Amino acid sequence: MSKPAIIDPDKSYNFTDFFKLNFAPQDILAYFGISLYRDYLDLPHFNDHLDRLSDLHTPYHSHQ
């Protein structure tokens, strides 16, 4: 038995449609010749004081 087609060449897809497909992400990417690689990032840490951090917790009020 053959594998079902991942992408229908007669159909138009938008970005969100790919999330609705019933296939594993690596299978969808392999269809386009792309491989999936996951890894951990070791990002630098910022140890200084963030003086504007409270602004992130304050709701923004638009002045229209």
Residue extents of the structural domains in the chain:
12-40
Strands (DSSP E) along 1-64, which ranges? none
Output the pLDDT for position 64. 55
Q: Which of 6, 30, 32 shows the shortest CA–CA distance to 20?
A: 6
Q: Which two tokens stand for residue 45?
A: 């840490």
Q: How confident is the model over 10-50, as pLDDT tens digits?
A: 999 999 998 899 999 889 999 999 998 889 999 999 899 88
pLDDT of residue 60: 67
Q: With b meaning 16 or more CB within 10 Å and e meaning fewer, what string describes 23-62?
A: beeeebbeeeeeeeeeeeeeeeeeeeeeeeeeeeeeeeee
Contact, 23 vs 44, CB < 8 A?
A: no
Q: Is the pTM for the entire model greater than 0.75?
A: no
Higher pLDDT, 27 or 62: 27
